[in-house]
Structure 1
Amino acid sequence: MLEISDLTLSLGEFRFTDLSVSVADGEYCIILGPTGAGKTILLETIAGIHRPDKGRILLDGTDITDAPPERRGIGMVYQDYMLFPHMTVRENIGFGLRQRGISGENRDAAAESIAETLGIAHLLDRYPATLSGGEQQRTAIARALVLRPRVLLLDEPLSALDTVTRERLRREIKEIHTRTGVMILHITHHFEDIYALADRVVVMKDGAVAQEGTPETILRRPASDFIAHFTGMENLFSGTASPDGTGTAEIAVGPVKLFAATDLSGPVRVGIRPEDLILSTSPLDSSARNSLPGIVAGVAENGIYAKIPVDCGNGIIVTAALTRQSVERLKLCSGTEVWVTFKATAVHVFR
């Protein structure tokens, strides 16, 4: 287990204060947060590049707070690859092994083995300048993994890649994690990475942990407006909850009544993810407790999905996310009358 306790660190105007995070052995932990939240500084502190002013870092019960980077058993891969341009792929992968005094023959054998795993064995005698972005990233990951690290730190490793390459490399990273069981901490801005990779998610803000938990907890049960907004829960309202004693509550959002699976009562915040809303041109015969009439206020194309804001009156505008095929099938456009349907379990209620 990796345990970070009460970490305090000042770097210029940036500061961690009493930051604590723990990641279990073999977990894949995704770290999210806006620019300037301290994500990269956190990874670099774990790696030993920065020394904290206060606090401890323990790995499997061993205090590594003051250990030099090369003795921590931690590998790190940056977004910009940081390959040596004058070295071949083989030499780049084996660089750390050479620093450890491993013989050339054993070094080459290890480089060839990990290159085979990552599908770059045919590139071993090439130089970085001749590689694609995806090939360079695989080389950087191979260079880290060949050292058999106890922890692998990935700083936005997929962000500079095109969509097809990113999806392919994401699958490969998942396969590597499954095969090796190495603990991974991965900074990303792509929410697809959460769904595809994460066992655990940590959201940071202003040098602090804003919330941590499973992907389901972070995406479905955000602890604050900041988390809700940051993770794409666009439909946020204030209301008053009146629980019925059975685990369900009626929530008054102005004159609109919503049903939610909650025991909270009194003033609350309500959040509903766009993908949990169902649009239809007539009332649905459904077990869903919530169904509101409204008028489509526009259609905003967003790749394979479209965002559909619906004016439900009384100042309530909800946004749904539909596939382009659904938009075409329902013939949605500004002014279309629709019904918005969603389950009580889709309504997240928090203070």
Structure 2
Amino acid sequence: MSDASFLSLDKLSLAYGKTIAVKELDLDIRKGELLALLGPSGCGKTTTMRAIAGLMTPVSGRITLDGADITRVPANRRNIGLVFQSYALFPHLTVFENVAFGLKLQGIGGDELTRRVDAGLKSVGLTAFSGRKTPDLSGGQQQRVALARSMVMQPKVLMLDEPLSNLDARLRLEMRTELQRMQKETGVTMIFVTHDQVEALALADRIVVMRDGAIEQIGTPEEIYNNPVSSFVADFVGFENLFAIRNGKLVAAGGIELDPAGPLPDAAGLAWRPRAIALGAGPFTGTVRGVSFAGGTREYLLESGFGTVKAEADVSVPGYPLNAEVAFDMPISAAAPLHRFG
């Protein structure tokens, strides 16, 4: 465990039966950090969360929290809060009773119970709803009850499994702000699991991108967004035009080679976001097979001699109709170099 680590996973391997889901994972998480485990279904992020929470036993490796080895410590003695995607609230209990439930199991009652529940409800803005039953609340309010119920237990680590996936777009934005505020005010170490790159980029101090039970890249949101190390990460965070580099040429997904419009860097591949594709002039041509209005931009699907290219242009620029032939460029300077491809 590094000196700066509060929660450490050391060579952690996890399995379902004989199927290895996570293999020899190393990860150090700092105290007070808001960390995202990001990746597609089946990448091992939820499995890793379950192991940290004590809901599954590792095949090998060690989990250390605040200097103590908790690898074999039962879940109810780890002091780790867990907020499920389904919220897991009791519909027959009031908001106050839901938040108080865990405290009562610990034998806390009287003024101390009331004080901690009231403080928890205040922290999520639900003081006025303490007497309501949870089915009478909106999705965002139910999410806040689940957060308050975990926070009143004063956990060392708070873990959230796809915390915003059940909410509509407006509520997701509100809850992102709420989660950030709560985490910064309390200083709790928070880990959340998500497949939504926008959510991870907006919330996290650091992002751990996972693939096939291993860590593909760790970095700040800015590092992950601007400097993906592999084609997998690039594709996951919105670089929709990916080309391998082989023998001084760009190689498209179908294996077609093309001469680049400039010298190539020492990299395994290059990735362009749609907005980095320059339309109207350049060495390449494509046919517009799709165009959609996206507020301040128009998004284009171009059919070229080497495959599909996705481009984006400001709406202030005259648009191209379907089936129009368009010249375009993929400036090397606008591409992200990739260390690993495939």
Name the TM-score class by shorter chain: 0.7 to 0.9
**Contact kept in structure 2, 1:79 and 1:156, CA below 8 Å:** yes
SS at match of 2:261: strand
1:328 to partner: Cα distance: 6.5
Q: Which moved more, 1:155-164 or 1:107-116?
A: 107-116
Q: Output the CA distance in 2 between the equivalents of 1:159 and 1:321.
A: 27
Give the residue type in structure 2 aligned to 1:318. Answer: V
Counterpart for residue 276 of structure 1: 276
Counterpart for residue 247 of structure 1: none
1:165 to partner: Cα distance: 0.7
Q: Output the CA distance in 2 between the equivalents of 1:204 and 1:59.
A: 21
Aligned mate of 2:310, from 292, 316, 319: 319
Q: Output the CA distance in 1 between the equivalents of 2:51 and 2:79.
A: 14
Q: 1:218 to 1:14 in 2, by over 3 A?
A: farther
SS at match of 1:219: helix
Counterpart for residue 326 of structure 2: 337
* Residues 1:346 and 2:335 aligned together: yes
**Contact kept in structure 2, 1:259 and 1:344, CA below 8 Å:** no
Q: Output the CA distance in 2 between the equivalents of 1:6 and 1:294.
A: 49
1:317 to partner: Cα distance: 4.6
Counterpart for residue 3 of structure 2: none
Give the residue type in structure 1 aligned to 2:164. Answer: L
Q: Output the CA distance in 2 between the equivalents of 1:19 and 1:272.
A: 30
% identity of equivalent residues: 35
Write the mapping of 1:1-351 to structure 2, written as runs, cut at 5 A.
1-12=6-17, 14-15=19-20, 16-240=22-246, 254-258=258-262, 262=265, 264=266, 268-279=268-279, 281=280, 292=283, 294-301=285-292, 304=295, 306-310=298-302, 315=306, 317-322=308-313, 326-327=314-315, 329-334=317-322, 335=324, 337-340=326-329, 342=331, 344=333, 346-351=335-340
Q: Output the CA distance in 2 between the equivalents of 1:342 and 1:135.
A: 47
Q: Output the CA distance in 2 between the equivalents of 1:3 and 1:141.
A: 24
Q: 1:70 to 1:302 in 2, by over 3 A?
A: farther
Q: Which moved more, 1:223-232 or 1:119-128?
A: 223-232
1:2 to partner: Cα distance: 1.0
Q: 1:52 to 1:302 in 2, by over 3 A?
A: farther
Please give the per-residue CA displacement for 1:229-267, whole angstroms capped at 9, x wherever unaligned. Answer: 22322111123587xxxxxxx97962232456x4x26xx
Q: 1:194 to 1:321 in 2, by over 3 A?
A: farther
Structure 2 alignment gaps of length 5 or more = 1-5, 252-256
Q: Output the CA distance in 1 between the equivalents of 2:226 and 2:307.
A: 21
Give the residue type in structure 2 aligned to 1:170. Answer: R
Q: Output the CA distance in 2 between the equivalents of 1:120 and 1:303.
A: 36
Q: 1:9 to 1:350 in 2, by over 3 A?
A: closer
Q: 1:255 to 1:183 in 2, by over 3 A?
A: same
1:95 to partner: Cα distance: 1.3
Give the residue type in structure 1 aligned to 2:105. Answer: Q
How many residue pairs get matched? 327
Q: Output the CA distance in 1 between the equivalents of 2:245 and 2:16.
A: 41
Structure 1 alignment gaps of length 5 or more = 243-249, 284-290
1:156 to partner: Cα distance: 0.4
Q: Output the CA distance in 2 between the equivalents of 1:257 and 1:27.
A: 43
1:299 to partner: Cα distance: 3.2
Q: 1:342 to 1:124 in 2, by over 3 A?
A: farther
SS at match of 2:86: coil
SS at match of 2:215: strand
